Chain A
């Protein structure tokens, strides 16, 4: 099975980090994967996206034209990518930052106010991780397995306290 995941939002929201966490999780699960960032003058404020493909077979193209799973953290990204999702796919929406509903009727949609949840936890910059917690819960193709180990790989060694914060954020999204 191959799952193509597109994560998109503003630069600075941790879009690439979220993708990296999924990529490491897949690596630890022994799956094939590719992680492709949008790159360019998009560091803060601009739009950023990240394509993660997870598969049981070697990954063909790392470029995702039609994702199975779309995770969006701002309105421009939903506007841009909503129509590209495969019929039967899943869209995860940060409903704090995106007020409108998904128009498509042939996809499954999960709304979670991840930015508000993160802010209430005192960790506004972990909205991406809260959202990911929801994905781990409700996306059948992406289980929670190995996420703790993957987190250890991607959290900076200089800030080990961030590991616990991130884990709490995952739980907050997972249990929402």
Chain B
């Protein structure tokens, strides 16, 4: 029987990845996710795995591409500027239909930005990021426990659908420590008959590729991929609904913003304001249905984000603009406070906010 240990979010991701059968990690250091790489550097050589600090993020993601093609579980991690560098490789991995896990412990941007927590890579993570029509499965942990759990889930979902998965965390989640129950060791459960790992003269060669010069063929790969995306949208939406049963107002927030929102909700409920929370755990696929249903019940939405307002677009689309949606945000590495959330919510209730 395992017991709870105290770990940083970054370390929880690393240990959970190893327990999920990931024996290859490629990366390049960047704050605030460096503990993840450091943990891998320490552990991988002891368990027969591979830790490799590449010469750049671009190099690291292409190493991921290679190992994914060989059918092994593989991970890379970085923070915002580094994840931008990886986008070309991520597009290739998506185009080649390979499972891999990419971690983004976000920091403020744009450009080199800062090192404090942010959620301003939401568009990049959920709307493609690289070139071409594709999606990543994007999971947003809100505790150190979820850093571990969602890492494990990311590997499973990536394998199941042959789609790269991203863990979209932020500096706070990476740096904070909480008690965590680590997942039991497990490994790949699906047959990877497509992998390039030697034919042993028993089968035809497999080919891993994202180049299709015939547009008819390329279109077909896109259509097929989007059929899989449809299944993901139907089966893999995850979210937490918190005090929504009697809620008259709905806060939508993920990651650290959702944690702050819960404190604000506790305080507002004490004042008799009936407010609840929908916390997307997957931001692609986005929890459209619960938000659409909430739009019929509540009087308005408050979207709390560590960005200039990105997820708010998805909330407006999902709610079909039936009710007002207001933004409560900070940017550049700042975090909305409990007081700010309460103030924004009250303003909306009074009809003052637009």
> How many residues does chain A have at the interface if contact means C-beta atoms less than 8 Å apart?
19
Q: A32 contacts which chain B residues (CB < 8 A)?
A: 179
Does B224 touch A at the CB level, under 8 Å?
A: no
* CB 8 Å contact bits of A42-85 with B (1 = contact, 0 = none): 00000000000000000111110100000000000000000000
| Contact residue among B171, B177, B263 (Cβ-Cβ distance under 8 Å from A61) | B263
B115 touches A27 (CB 8 A): no
Does A124 touch B at the CB level, under 8 Å?
A: no
B264-309 interface (Cβ within 8 A of A) = 266
User: What would 15 A/B residue contacts be, using CB atoms closer than 8 Å?
Assistant: A34-B176, A34-B177, A35-B178, A36-B175, A39-B31, A39-B115, A39-B171, A39-B175, A40-B115, A60-B262, A61-B256, A61-B260, A61-B338, A62-B176, A62-B256
Complex CA distance for A113 and B178, rounded to whole angstroms = 32
Does B59 touch A at the CB level, under 8 Å?
A: no
Chain B interface residue number, banded:
20 to 34
Does A89 touch B at the CB level, under 8 Å?
A: no
Does A118 touch B at the CB level, under 8 Å?
A: no
Across chains A and B, the number of contacting residue pairs, with CB separation under 8 Å, is 59
Complex CA distance for A153 and B5, rounded to whole angstroms = 11
Q: A35 contacts which chain B residues (CB < 8 A)?
A: 6, 176-178
Complex CA distance for A34 and B6, rounded to whole angstroms = 9
Q: A59 contacts which chain B residues (CB < 8 A)?
A: 178
Give 3 nearest A-B pairs by CB, closest first.
Answer: A35-B177, A60-B263, A60-B262
Does A23 touch B at the CB level, under 8 Å?
A: yes
Q: B175 contacts which chain A residues (CB < 8 A)?
A: 36-37, 39
Which of A33, A36, A153 has the most C-beta atoms of chain B within 10 angstroms of its own C-beta?
A36
B339 touches A65 (CB 8 A): yes
Does B46 touch A at the CB level, under 8 Å?
A: no
* CB 8 Å contact bits of A143-160 with B (1 = contact, 0 = none): 000000000010000000
Q: A34 contacts which chain B residues (CB < 8 A)?
A: 176-178
Does A10 touch B at the CB level, under 8 Å?
A: no
Does B53 touch A at the CB level, under 8 Å?
A: no
In the complex formed, the residue of A with least CB distance to B3 is A27
A40-B116, A65-B338 known; A33+B178 contact, CB < 8 A:
yes
